[in-house]
């Protein structure tokens, strides 16, 4: 009996043990989706902010344009983090 068959038998015949493993998988999946999904936006937003501050230091007269483009880039970067939040919420509350 391989691992997949053993887990399937625990879920179908194991009662509380099977459902416990199922919910453990859901919680681990949601936690990993949020944890790993937040790494990219965090690094990206830090990079965008650092380069925007560098650009403003070099050309202070363009600070309005640079700030506007920085905020737009941060919004696009943050959407990746929001997608990972949606995936983790679906794992927790929508899937049976």
Q: Where are the domains of the chain?
A: 11-94
On whether the CB atoms of residues 15 and 80 are closer than 8 A, the answer is: no
Phi/psi at 94 (5° precision):
-95, -45
pLDDT tens, position by position, 21-44:
788 888 898 999 999 999 999 999
Confidence class for position 11, pLDDT limits 50, 70, 90:
low
Q: How far is CA 72 from CA 11, 27, 43, 66, 95, in A?
A: 46, 33, 16, 10, 33
Quick one: average pLDDT of 86-90?
A: 91
Query: The pTM is what?
Result: 0.68
CATH 1.20.20.10 fits 11-94, yes or no: yes
50-61 residue pLDDT tens: 999 999 999 999
Predicted local distance difference test score (pLDDT) of residue 20: 75
């Amino acid at each position: 009996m391989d691992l997949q068959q053993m887990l399937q038998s625990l879920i179908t015949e194991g009662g509380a043990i099977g459902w416990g493993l199922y919910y453990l998988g859901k919680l681990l999946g949601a936690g990993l989706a949020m944890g790993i999904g937040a790494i990219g936006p965090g690094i990206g937003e830090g990079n965008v902010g650092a380069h925007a501050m560098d650009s403003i230091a070099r050309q202070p007269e363009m600070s309005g344009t640079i700030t506007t483009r920085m905020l737009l880039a941060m919004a696009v970067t943050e959407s990746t983090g929001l997608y990972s939040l949606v995936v983790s919420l679906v794992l927790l509350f929508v899937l049976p």
